[in-house]
Amino acid sequence: MRIKFGFLVLAVFSAALLLAGCRGPHGPGPGTVVFITPNNDGGARVEVSRGGGREFTATLAAGVVDWSVGGNFSAGTVITPSAGNPNVATLNVAALEIAQTLTITAAARHDAAVFAAVVVTLTDAAAPPPPPPTVTNVTVDGPNIVAHGSANNVFTATVTGTNNPPQTVTWSVIGSVAAGTAIGAGTGVLTVASGETATSLIVRAASTVNPSVTGERTVLVQDVAPLPPPTNQVLDAYGVANWNWNHPSLGGYLGGFQLRLYGAATETGPFMPVGLPISVGAAERSRNLAQTIRTAGVGTYRFTVSAVSNNQNRHPHSGPSAHSNTQNITRRDPVVHVWWYAGDSGLARWVNPDGPGSNDERDYRIRLFRNGVFVKETVVARHDTANIAYETRSEFNFALAGLTANSGALYSFSVVALRRDDAPPLEADSEPSGESDGRNINVMGIARVWTIAEGGTGANLRYVAGGAGNGRIAWSADGENWTLANTGEGPEAVFDNNAVRAIAHSPGHGSPGLGRFVAVGHGGNAAFSDNGGATWTRTTSNFGTAHIFSLAYGGGVFVAGGAGGNVRHSNNGTAWNSISGWADSTILDGGDISAMMFSANTGFVAFATNLGNWGVSGQHAHSATGVSDWTWIENQIESANRDVLGGVVGTAGTFVVTLANEGHIPRFTGLPPEWTWSDHQVGYANILSVGYGHGRFIAVGRNGQASVSADNGANWTPLPNPFEGYITAARGMPGGRVILAGPGLIAVMSAP
């Protein structure tokens, strides 16, 4: 029992020494314990604000301490001992210090192992209060003459200064004799007693913020009638102020009118003067305030009007009329749907905010951005926009091709609906719309993309696209940012300005890592690229001038199909040969080979279109090598349309083809010639093309429609429309994304 008690005492003693920061019983010397005030005893939180400071005191039996601060990131955060007492120090925290906590340490100078520490939590300094308003001047406005016994003499005050001083004043009248002469301290309405003997009065307004700043107006007390105020004041929906003043017997004393516009953020006020009083001629009974209101901005407005005398000794100015009705000015409805129309690479289109069936009666300001940087803005008059779809949409052609030589730039635009100055209601410009889909759309300079190929891996991954439009080809390392390839110009153009219809890739030819891309197209043109699609070299395809529509690579062989059922093959993509065993290399007599596909399970398969027999679809030929032994297969698809537009092959030898003007996808499985086909709906008609990549089939068509299948074409899920108009090519990408291509446009999006 005694042994246990001794052990407990020793443990408690050791813990106390550790908390105090001393060396323990083997560190003799004066001041074996150091304490800091304030500290974290009992879990207390010690706080110092950034940009602030705090004093700390170290206590020990004898001697002095050395102070240090730890955990800071800013050199401006320091702790400084007091000159008179080194055991007292002040922590100063830099205003930009990013640390969350600091550790303040006080160590005995005679023995650094004897120390104490406190954790300081940093807080953000409180924001300084806004500067108080100051008042520099008070101006008093009102009649120059008041009559005995009058009770409706209205005076107004305008307070000016800095920091938006309140317009509130305290009213007083000076020089009155009769007890009944008084002015409402908060209203500015002066009542003159019928027995008032003073011939003049001083009306004073003192700012409630700074009562020492006052404004005064001297008025005469005379038994003369002021001009009657105007009546029937109306502010109409166009922003025009209207009023009546019909007093023929006093017309000779009318010098004009003075309008005062008042505005408020809400309909309930408070209403404050807007601008300066407006002088109007005596013959006028209206004044257009629309521009003043629009300049003032969104809010609620009303006005008063006073009759101005040309002889105040006979008839002074009238007081202001009662306030008119109110009119609200709101922002135009914003444009909420903006997009690039795929029919033209520079055609901006938006939905009119006025709604379906409305006649677009507004002007627009369109701002164009290139790679997120503002390029220019254009104001499009409502009569200059092309109203389409029952005038519920508008469009404007930016002609992007003329803006820059770099066709790989990403463009976007926003639209502001401008206010109308010639029609009610009063309104301000709308807020800008959100930016269009330009950040996901690449203006490629290709009139219509027909094919997208993928090749290379890792840093050498490349996507290459071609299509109609002067034989242009574009390449990309990420599918989003595209650069036009060098395909030559004029007589040097590798495609003679003909369309590029198909591109295939071989990893075993060309440059290591990049491989070789081969492209074929109209006019029997063919070319290859060994640098990822950046530059191209023309080859002889042996098709003559006949169009080439399809191309596939597999088993070390490129095989191309074209008009009239003709097929050529190449071992390297540069030299092309006829098909062995076929005198004229025509494997599908009379039909154009619109789809050439390769699978390791089946070899090469060629589908034909334009076979000449209505209601006959799906006729194709098969070859294990593509070089010879092509076999005609009479496996017909039950369809009213014979035209096969194209096809791709997925995993496990699943072939998918597209039929013109039909909304279903024929899918072939098994091994030819005994394979079978099945019909699968994609949810819309007019499928134009089908693509594949990384486990996904993608079917695309008109009206921006696209569907994706991740189960070898068995089930299809619609994708959001990336842009309006035709989508003519597609390809799957790593990470569950897909590329969709239309006329001059490329969109990349996630797919299920």
**Separation in Å, CA 631 to CA 183, 539, 582, 676:** 110, 28, 11, 16
Give the CA count within 13 Å in the CB-facing half-sphere of 69: 26
Residue 143 above 90 pLDDT? no
Nearest to 510 by CA among 453, 451, 455, 568: 455
Give the percent of the chain with pLDDT over 90. Answer: 36
* Rounded Cα gap, residues 496 and 485, in angstroms: 15
Instruction: Read off the pLDDT of each residue in 5-28 and give the average, rounded to a whole number.
Output: 36
Can you name the CATH fold of 2-123?
Answer: Immunoglobulin-like (2.60.40)
For 641, other C-beta atoms within 10 Å of its C-beta total 16
Residue 635 above 60 pLDDT? no
Q: Are 196 and 148 in contact (CB under 8 A)?
A: yes
CATH code reported for the domain at 134-221? 2.60.40.1080
Strand partners, 456: none
Instruction: Read off the pLDDT of each residue in 383-412 and give the average, rounded to a whole number.
Output: 53
DSSP H or E stretch at residue 214? strand 214-221
| HEC secondary structure over 20-55 | HCCCCCCCCCCCCCEEEECCCHHHCCEEEECCCEEE
* Rounded Cα gap, residues 483 and 473, in angstroms: 9
**pLDDT class for 390, splitting at 50, 70, 90?**
very low
Dihedrals φ, ψ of 39, to 5°?
Answer: -145, -175
**pLDDT class for 370, splitting at 50, 70, 90?**
confident
- pLDDT tens digits along 159-191: 999 999 999 999 999 999 999 999 999 999 999
Residue 706 above 80 pLDDT? yes
**What is the CATH architecture assignment of 338-442?**
Sandwich (2.60)
Q: What is the DSSP letter of 151?
A: -
Nearest to 653 by CA among 622, 616, 699: 622
Q: Which pLDDT does position 643 carry in this prediction?
A: 56
Q: Are 391 and 359 in contact (CB under 8 A)?
A: yes
Q: Return the structure tokens found at 14.
A: 């050791």
Q: Kindly give the pairing relationship between strand 145-146 and strand 214-221.
A: parallel
Query: pLDDT averaged over the chain?
Result: 80
- pLDDT tens digits along 200-249: 999 999 999 999 999 999 998 877 778 999 999 999 988 899 999 999 88
For 73, other C-beta atoms within 10 Å of its C-beta total 12
Say which range, 74-88, 626-640, 686-700, has the weakest mean pLDDT.
626-640
Residue extent(s) of CATH 2.60.40.1080 domains in the chain: 2-123, 134-221
* Rounded Cα gap, residues 490 and 487, in angstroms: 10
DSSP H or E stretch at residue 290? helix 290-296
* Rounded Cα gap, residues 436 and 723, in angstroms: 10
Strand partners, 299: 329
Q: Which pLDDT does position 405 carry in this prediction?
A: 36
Q: Are 712 and 652 in contact (CB under 8 A)?
A: yes
Instruction: Read off the pLDDT of each residue in 505-511 and give the average, rounded to a whole number.
Output: 90
Which residues does 422 contact at the CB level (< 8 Å), separation at least 6?
none
Dihedrals φ, ψ of 144, to 5°?
Answer: -90, -20
Q: Is 281 helix (H, G, I), strand (E, B) or coil?
A: coil
Q: Which pLDDT does position 31 carry in this prediction?
A: 42
- pLDDT tens digits along 258-291: 999 999 988 888 999 998 999 999 999 999 998 8
Q: Which pLDDT does position 395 carry in this prediction?
A: 65
- pLDDT tens digits along 29-60: 444 688 899 988 888 899 999 999 999 999 98
Instruction: Read off the pLDDT of each residue in 348-371 and give the average, rounded to a whole number.
Output: 69
Amino acid identity for residue 275 in this structure: G
Beta sheet of 145-146, edge-to-edge order: 145-146, 214-221, 200-207, 169-174
Q: Kindly give the pairing relationship between strand 448-455 and strand 462-468.
A: antiparallel
DSSP H or E stretch at residue 18? helix 2-20
Rounding to the nearest 10 degrees, give the CA dihedral for residues 569, 575, 580, 583.
100
- pLDDT tens digits along 570-596: 999 999 988 765 545 566 656 788 888
Intra-chain end-to-end CA distance of the chain, in Å: 73
For 266, other C-beta atoms within 10 Å of its C-beta total 10
Q: Are 281 and 308 in contact (CB under 8 A)?
A: no
Q: Which pLDDT does position 15 carry in this prediction?
A: 33
DSSP string, 521-533: EGGGEEEEESSTT
Q: Are 306 and 155 in contact (CB under 8 A)?
A: no
Q: Return the structure tokens found at 90.
A: 């002040």
Q: Return the structure tokens found at 255.
A: 């010098």
Give the CA count within 13 Å in the CB-facing half-sphere of 151: 4
Q: Are 3 and 36 in contact (CB under 8 A)?
A: no
* Rounded Cα gap, residues 97 and 248, in angstroms: 77
Q: What is the DSSP letter of 549?
A: E
Q: Are 662 and 644 in contact (CB under 8 A)?
A: no
**What is the CATH architecture assignment of 231-331?**
Sandwich (2.60)
CB-based burial label for 20 (10 Å; 0-12, 13-18, 19+): middle
Dihedrals φ, ψ of 734, to 5°?
Answer: -60, 155
Strand partners, 620: 607, 633
Q: Positive or negative CA dihedral for 650, 653, 659, 662?
A: negative
Q: Return the structure tokens found at 276.
A: 């300066």
Give the CA count within 13 Å in the CB-facing half-sphere of 585: 22
DSSP H helices, 623-681, are none
Q: Which pLDDT does position 615 carry in this prediction?
A: 36
DSSP H or E stretch at residue 7? helix 2-20
Q: Which pLDDT does position 16 carry in this prediction?
A: 35
